Amino acid sequence: MALLPFKINSAQDLSFLKEGIFDMLTSRLSSEGRVEVLSREQIEGAVKTEAASGNINETTARRIGNRLNVDFVLFGSLTVLGENVSIDAKLVDIAGARTALTFFDQSQDLGAVITKINLIAADINDRMFGRAQVSATAKAPAAAAAAPTAKPPPKKSRVHDHPEKVLQDDGFITQDKSEGVSTLGIDRGATRESQPQIWRSASFNHRINGVALGDVDGDGKIETVTIAPHTVLIFRSEGGAFRKTAEIKESINKYLIGVDTADINENGFAEIFVTSLNADHKVVNSYVLEYNGKKFSKIIDSSRHYYRVAVTPDRGRILLGQRPKVGKPSAGAIYEMKWQSGDYIPTDPIKTPRNTNLMGLTVGDVLNSGQETAIAYRDDDRIRVIDPSGDTRWDNRERFGGSMLYASLPWDYRGQVENKWYFPLRLVVWHNKTTKESEVIAVQNHDLTSSTLKELRYFTKTYIAGYTWDSVGLSPRWKTRQLSGYIQDFNVGDFDNDGQDELIAALVLKEGRVALISEAKSTIIGYELTSPQQPES
């Protein structure tokens, strides 16, 4: 194995870290008789020949690996912004038998770099070499002679148990009592006592990448559909209970980034539109699930379209689609799609400015004129209202959105480990029955890097805001109190089947940076959207 010098991106002189990272990875990855790591002197000449500029990408790494006649090459970078540090690394199998593995971690303390490198090394040992690190434990004393087995008591019915207790007992989610979010709600200048209380599920030990609401089993009740990176999960909230009703696991060759529901084929069952990428985040590989009366199965697979469902003032839910080009995630026309002859076919185009990505676009009565208007994120996470000709009618100077979901682009030869292009977040146009106005609802995730670094994002706090059109632009109406973490997706609908709309969001409390070592943690939050909306002072 060859460990190439990590690129250090910092205003400070941190060149000493190159040697420290090399020494630590060498000691952690070397294994007598199994893994031999070349010395600095052995790789120095090859690096100078193949990467004289110091910029190394996967192609360069393969050339260096072939020159050195090694099986694996590890390269990466360390970026320091103030007190925040991110580490990117990629392990390349020179023979090409396995897809290159990527690793990422970050901290708010430069002193934690060694700990993070240790985690990455442990992850490489486990995923590539099958050497999982197991902590030593004292040998347990011999068990006492087993007592005669008593007949177990009759199993108590769990019908009336709290749903979160059922999920915890089943080992599906864990309860976290540390985050006091129960007092958070919509901030309209009201006193704390009059604020609506936020509902929160127990914590999930994965990142929730998307959330949608719809009657997906045809029983007239609304289900909550969430996606983890490789799983679709379906829940029902009713009468104070929140229960999982289905779980559909997907191949690791699909990475799920978006979910929507709508009965587009009009058979009484809302389809589940899952937007996904392939394992290396380069190609769209989406699919559609539908309930057949017994189980959820795919009616469309390996689609090259992004999917989004929009709610229009007159036509109800419509399906939008976009087919991007490889390496150009926003290069493709956006269309309404309809069910014809067993497939979803692009029909009427939605005119938009160039490089508008569907994942951050919706259509609705944005202007409160009774007409359909498109609204979308620009590529710099600013919101713009789009007129029927596809031109920008209005745009916001403030940044909103902020997603951690990304596509991998071709190398731009700047030496980064992975060239990430981040998808925009969802926008929702919701009709407020109390004020009889449409509101545009958007998330603002606060990026500690202030978007100054292309590949690095570090979200620490978030809120959701509602806006209405005032003939000049979008004017703020309300916003939630600030939450710790970041919101990856949200939606609006009758979440708990009480006849009133709720705002539901996937809140990521902890980002799982290193696979199999650092575990993500997410939760679903929500509150009613039925109280009168008042402009902020």
Class of residue 183 by CB neighbours under 10 A (exposed 0-12, middle 13-18, buried 19+): exposed
Count the domains in the chain.
2
At 95, the pLDDT band (50, 70, 90 cuts) reads: confident
3-state secondary structure 332-382: CCEEEEEEECCEEEEEEEECCCCCCCHHHEEEECCCCCCCCEEEEECCCCE
For residue 516, tell me if it sits in a domain.
Answer: yes
Residue for token digits 């057949």? 292
Strands (E), 361-436: 361-364, 373-377, 382-386, 392-399, 406-408, 420-422, 428-432
Q: Percent of the chain at pLDDT above 70?
A: 80
Mean pLDDT computed over 172-189: 35
For 69-88, how does the pLDDT look when each residue is reduced to its tens digit (9 = 90+)?
999 999 988 888 766 788 88
Residue 387 has pLDDT above 70, yes or no: yes
Tell me which of 203 and 234 has the higher pLDDT.
Answer: 234
Q: How far is CA 26 from CA 97, 401, 476, 477, in A?
A: 23, 40, 54, 56
Tell whether 341 is covered by a domain. yes
pLDDT digits (tens, 9 = 90+) for 320-372: 999 998 889 998 999 999 999 999 999 999 999 999 999 999 999 999 999 99
Indicate whether 389 and 510 sit together in one domain.
Answer: yes
In the structure encoding, which two tokens stand for residue 392, read together? 């920008």
Residue ending a domain, choose from 129, 149, 177: 129
Residues 203 and 125 in one domain: no
Predicted confidence (pLDDT) at residue 264 exceeds the cutoff of 90? yes
Same-domain check for residues 107 and 214: no
- For residue range 419-429, what is the model confidence (pLDDT) as tens digits? 889 999 999 99
Which domain covers residue 6, as residue numbers? 2-129
Q: Do residue 372 and residue 496 come from a single domain?
A: yes
> Which pTM was predicted?
0.68
Whether the pLDDT of residue 244 is over 60: the answer is: yes
Residue whose pair of structure tokens reads 């919509």 in the numeric block: 186
CB atoms within 10 A of CB 62: 18
Which stretches of 249-352 are DSSP H helices? none
Residue 152 CB partners (closer than 8 Å, separation 6+): none
CATH code, domain with 114: 3.40.50.10070
CA-based nearest residue to 300, from 319, 281, 280: 319
